[in-house]
Amino acid sequence: MDFTSFLIQLLNALQYGLLLFLVASGLTLVFGIMGIINLAHGSFYMLGAYLAFVLTSLTGNLLLTIALGVPLAFAFGALLEWLLFAHLYKRNHLEQVLLTYGLILIFEELRSLAVGDDVHGVAIPALFSASIPLSDNLSYPVYRIVISVVCLALAVGLYFLIQRTRLGMMIRAGSHDRDMVQALGIDIDSLYRVVFALGVALAALAGMLAAPISSVYPGMGSSVLIISFVIVVIGGIGSVWGALVAALVIGFADTFGKVLLPDLAGLMVYLVMAAVLLWRPEGIFRKG
């Protein structure tokens, strides 16, 4: 591999990793702060992508779609928490796993009933539809750079939200001791609702952003779910920073794995995970 190709592959790895981070960030947030395993996380990603498809067909503008879609997803997340997840906090992990597994099936079929099983595309916004030439026959779509920038901005934003704001402080406190926070007069129910809705919105946003480059098709949630889990396992449950590091590691392992060790490409991610777990069974940046 020559140097130019290496640089380009580096760019590919970075962009892939950042997008994975965006998807996994919602999972680790909900997981770490609320202690809930949510297998339906991939379905929220799919929801975002399909929302992008439907709304863009109506409005013709992806940016407008995102502006509308994120609040919609947030509201949906809040509703879902109020209806179902609020009952899960006292239940054990097994029940959470199973209930959210059931939800995956329900969401998939509802999607099939509502929008059908066809493959759809979403147009890249005209503003970002150019490509930057990198070599004499290869160029790089501007939109992918935009996605990377947005993901990075969100990572910084999340960090600030959790570490530097009052809301973030309440969230962190609530994850350590739910009852004490409640005793201090903070409405923990609303707090958890907000966090869950945020998790859903992040996953949906990832789906919306990725829709123009990934296409919109049935089953797109499953592949993203497993990789999100691996990222959370490697990064440490509840650590947003860990999710970022892990997502980048995976982005690199996957991209360079495909080029250097094509036969092991699919396994690469899991080999990395096994190696990390040998060293740190609870992830690199485990909480506490």
Partner 1 sequence: MKQAQQHRRSVMRAVVGLAMGALIPMGAAQAADKVKVGLMLPATGTYAALGSAITNGFKLYVEEQGGKLAGAEIEYAAVDDESDPSKATENANRLVVRDRVDALVGTVHSGVALAMARVAKSRDTLFIVPNAGADDLTGSLCSPNLFRTSFTNWQPAYAMGKAAIERGHKTAVTLTWNYAAGQEAVKGFNQAFTEGGGKVLKDLALPFPNVEFQSYLTEIAALKPDAVYVFFAGGGAAKFVRDYAGAGLKASVPLYSSGFLTDGTLEAMGGAGEGLITALHYADGLEVPRDKTFRTAYAAKFGTQPDVYAVQGYDAAQLLHAGLKAVGGDVKKKAEMRKAMREASIDSPRGAFTLSAAHNPVQDIYLRKAEGKVNKVTGIAAKALADPATGCKM
Partner 2 sequence: MNSRLATLFKLLALAALVAFPLVGSEFYTELVAKILILGIFAMSLDLLVGFTGLVSFGHAAYFGVAAYAVALLTPADNPALLWIALPLAVLGAALTALVIGVFVLRTKGIYFIMVTLAFAQMAYYVFHDTKFGGGSDGIYLDFKPSAAIGGFTPFDLAEPLHLYYFIVVALVAVYAFLTLVLRSPFGRVLVGIRSNEHRMQSLGYATFRYKLAAFTLAGALAGLAGFLYAVLFGFVTPEYLSWHKSGDVLLMVILGGMGNLVGAIAGAFALVGLQEMFSDWTKHWQLLMGGVIVAAVLFLPGGLAAMPGRLMNRIKGATHHG
* Binding site residues, partner 2, CB under 8 A: 31, 35, 37, 84, 87, 91, 93-95, 97-99, 101-106, 108-110, 112-113, 226, 229-230, 232-233, 237, 263-267, 270-271, 273-274, 277-278, 281-282
Nearest residue (CB) to partner 1, 51 versus 197: 51
CA 85 to each of CA 33, 35, 70, 78, 192: distance values in angstroms, whole numbers, following the listed order: 14, 11, 20, 10, 10
Query: Which phi and psi angles does 104 have, rounded to 5°?
Result: -55, -50
Nearest residue (CB) to partner 1, 33 versus 268: 268
Nearest distance in Å: CB 135, partner 1: 6
Nearest residue (CB) to partner 2, 93 versus 164: 93
Partner in contact with 218, chosen from partner 1, partner 2, none, beta carbon below 5 to 8 Å by kind? partner 1
CA 204 to each of CA 44, 200, 287: distance values in angstroms, whole numbers, following the listed order: 5, 6, 25
Strand residues in 8-157 grouped as ranges (E): 131-133, 139-141
Partner in contact with 66, chosen from partner 2, partner 1, none, beta carbon below 5 to 8 Å by kind? none
| Interatomic CA distance for residues 242 and 116, integer angstroms | 37
Residues forming a β-bridge with 133: 139
Nearest distance in Å: CB 112, partner 1: 6
Tokens of residue 272, six digits: 């990395």
Instruction: Tell me which residues touch partner 1 (CB under 8 A).
Output: 1-2, 4-5, 8-9, 12-13, 15-16, 112, 117-124, 131, 133, 135-141, 143-144, 212-220, 223, 254-256, 258-259, 262, 265-266
Question: How deeply is 209 buried, as exposed, middle or buried, from its count of CB atoms within 10 A (0-12, 13-18, 19+)?
Answer: buried
Nearest distance in Å: CB 273, partner 2: 6
Partner in contact with 153, chosen from partner 2, partner 1, none, beta carbon below 5 to 8 Å by kind? none
Nearest residue (CB) to partner 1, 133 versus 185: 133
| Interatomic CA distance for residues 78 and 190, integer angstroms | 9
Nearest residue (CB) to partner 1, 94 versus 126: 126
Contact indicator for 287, 241 with CB cutoff of 8 Å: no
